[in-house]
Every structure is written in structure tokens, then in C-alpha cells.
Amino acid sequence: MAPFNASERNPQDFSNVERHEAPSSIRMSEIISALSYALDLTEGQPMGHSVRACMIGMRLAQQIGVSADEQTDLYYALLLKDAGCSSNASRLFHILNADEIRAKGDVKTTDWTRVGWESLHYALTHVATGMPFLQRMQRLFQVAATQQQDSCTLVKIRCERGSYIAKQLGFSDSVSTGIYNLDEHWNGRGYPDGLRKHEIPLFSRIANLSQTLDVFFTAKGPNVALEAAQKRSGRWFDPDLVKAAASLANSGALWDGLDDRDLLRKIASLEPENRRMTATEDSIDKICTAFAEVIDAKSPFTYRHSSGVADAAVEIGQWFGMNAKGLKQLRRAALLHDIGKLSVPNSILEKPGKLTNEEWISVKAHPYFTLEILKKIPGFDRLSQDAAAHHEKLDGSGYWRGWGSEQLSRFARILAVADIFDALHAKRPYRDGMPLEKVFEILRSDAPHALDLPCVEALIASKTNSEPLAFIQPETAVAT
């Protein structure tokens, strides 16, 4: 077999990236509304919660006469209201010592501000559920003793992060402030700053009521949803907004279309027409980077993993001569490859011991959620397939679909190598990163039966500034 020559990398093999390009006319709202489905997973809500809450909030805004310009900012504040939700997941898990996603989901239908059976039942069913009785009782008392302080801290972490992400994406102060004050209550007993009545920004008041209405609507139906809002009127919610919601509900307008299968089409139509924003290449990249940070913030065990995978993937692509458009799409796929992992509780992500079969099922489902979320973005069909294939192997031993070499594209093969590389080499709170030599040894042991050998050797060559092994042929590296 002829020796490998660096000039044989054949950049033309990587030039056909049209199938990976997002359409030039894609709107910001189409991307963010689709990615909001990932935030719903972390909050323990059925996917589509943020979109439905946005629909409710926009109807409330129109009912009370919010101006068209303000409605645009409100629209994005509603879609991004949970942007900081992953940042307090690990801390909540360690406080409860139980599934924090289930706890987040169920707290939405619990009036935790009143001491009584409802709040007691919530504590009994969500604190230290897997611990022996005496340890569980001890944990329950600890949680009760620090509940106010912990709640404030958790909300502050979440709201500060969500507000920061909105600013990072270039949205106005009205959007970031609306997100920051999402959990303030009308009576001044909310968080993080204990604002009262009209001290609370209007966007925050609308968002808080809207999300509660949707949670109850989805779980228990429209009548219970409105009843819950009315019971909390004057305590949690602005009474005038609750009256507006009741008026809309009586006319049938409040709930219209919330159970529609095509929610994204409906929410796109609610963005004020004169303020619709077309996404640029730069803004798409910023969104991908911001959501990669949302993903990695869920656990200290995954700190900067998405960006690490993206860096390694781009190095492989560059070594093979991939053009600029291809590298851009590869980086986006890498940044978002683990977005489905927001569905996995930290009780599993941070478990020190061996996972049970049930826990493994949850882990193995995360690429499925990656696919389901990313394919909702116009023009991301191919990218979503490749990102969701990052745990697949050439011999069919990977997950979640057990795909083999014939189904795995060049992008998917690169992502699989980059993902394992970063997982092994990156430093984590519980261990130092493996030395490069050890990482390379492990990668090579999985090639060519499981990992694509040319991609492995290209990464090694890139990291060591050397030529790959002589027997590696460039043609095999670009199989689609």
C-alpha cells in the first residue's frame, strides 16, 4: 500500500456541505423556539412548554394593550425564560439527593409558599427518596431548616444565568430583566430580590403567570389552570393579569391551539411582523455557543465538554482540508450534540457507582432527544442526524439506534472520535484528564472496528503536529 502523503488529503471530498447549510432566510425565533424544547426537558415539563407559555403570554399582552415594540421583547423573554435552568440542576440535586428534574416539574403544580399538606407531601415524595429511613428523615429536616435560603440561592443562580444568556445573544435589557425577575411574586415573597407589585417588571409578571397556566393546563386541564391562577391572584400574580386571563379563557381565546401538533408554526405567527429578525451566520453561531453553555452548565462533570468536542472535531476537519462552510456546520453539530442530555437527571449524571438498567435507558435516550430538538430547526435536518449519532459505532455496537458504518456520515464519524477524546482528556472535578498518550492508545484500540481510523489518526496528527500512520488512506476518512 502506498505511503500516505499530506497532499492527498483531497479537500474536495469535504466541499459538498450544502446539505448541512441552514437556509439564509431562517428567523431567530425559529431557532430559539425549537431549542426551547431542550429547556423544557430540564424543567421537567413536556416538550413545548416554553412555546405554549409564550403563546399564552403574547395573548395576555395583546389583551392588556402592550405595544407592538414591547411585544417583540416579551416574545423572546417568554421563549428564553428558562435559559438558566440547567445552572442550578447540580446544586438542587445535592440538596434533595434525588431526581431534580422530577422535583422541578412537580414543584410547578405545588403551592410551596404555604405550609400544609401540599408542601409536606411534596417534600416526602422528592427528598432523599432512595435513602434509608433514618437518613431520609435527617435529610428532610435539613432541607426544611434551610428551605428559604436554598430556594433564594437556587432561583438567583438560575435567573442570573438566564439573564446573562439573553444579553449574550444580543437581546435588550427588557428581555434580560424580564428573565431575571421571573420568580418574583406580587406579594413580595418571591425570589431573587423580593420585589413587590409593580416593582416587578411587566414581562416577568406575564411570564410567571403564563408558565403556571400552561403547567396546569397540560397536567390538569383548562378549568383547573384558571382556578389555580385565581387562587394565587394577589399573592403570586398581578390581579389585573389574572382577570385578563379569565376574560380570554371565557372567550375561548386563551387555550386555543395549545394542544396543536404544529406548535412551532403557531408560535412563529405570533412574533410581531414588523420586528421579525432574520438570523445571520454570526447570530446562529452565538445561539449554538450559548446553548452549548446551557448544556455544559448542568453538571460540573460536563464543564466545557461541548466546546471541547467542537474544538477537537474542527481540528479533524481542518486536517482533512474541510472547507469553511463544512467546518462551521461541523462546529455547530458538535456544540449541540449533547443537547438531549438535558433530559438526564443529575442523580444519574453524577452517580459515582454503576448505573442500573433503568438509568442506562435514560442515558441512552439522550441522542434521541438531540435529534428531536435539532430537527425542528429549519435546515438542520442533516445536522441533527449527525449530532444524534455521536455515540454510534462503525460495528453497530453504539447507541441509540445501533447504526453501522453504512449509516454513519463523515460528520458523525468525526463527532464520535471528538466526543470520546474530550471525555477522556478533559479535566473533571473528580479526576484529572488522561495524558494524551493514554487517550491516543484508547482511541486506537477502538479503531477501525468501532471508530473511524483515519479520523482517529487525523486527530492524533493534529494534536502532535505529525503525519498520521503511513497506511491510512484519505478516501476512507470521507465515507458518507
Catalytic residues: 341
Spell out a b/e string for 369-396, using b for 16 or more CB atoms within 10 Å of the CB, else e: bbbbbbbbbbbbebbbbbbbbbbbbbee
Closest CA to 43 of 174, 227, 168, 182: 182
Dihedral (C-alpha) 317, 323, 324, 326: value to the nearest 10 degrees? -60
**Sequential DSSP letters for 413-459:** HHHHHHHHHHHHHS-BTTBPPPPHHHHHHHHHHTTTTTS-HHHHHHH
Nearest C-alpha neighbor of 250 from the set 258, 242, 261: 242
Strand partners, 431: 428
Residue 277, class by beta-carbon neighbours within 10 Å (0-12 exposed, 13-18 middle, 19+ buried)?
Answer: middle
C-alpha cell at 154: 437556587
Contact 377, 30 (CB under 8 A): yes
Return all residues near 80 (Cβ < 8 A) that are at least 6 apart.
Answer: 32, 36, 162, 165, 166, 169, 171, 175, 179
193 near 181, Cβ under 8 Å? yes
Place of cell 428532610: 140
Q: Identify the DSSP state of 287.
A: H
CA-based nearest residue to 12, from 258, 470, 326, 298: 326
Query: How would you class 226 by CB atoms within 10 Å of its CB: exposed for 0-12, middle for 13-18, buried for 19 or more?
Result: buried
CB 322 within 8 A of CB 66: no
DSSP annotation of 21? P
Cell of 36: 426551547
Q: Cell for 370?
A: 438531540
Among residues 49, 52, 64, the alpha carbon closest in space to that of 238 is found at 64
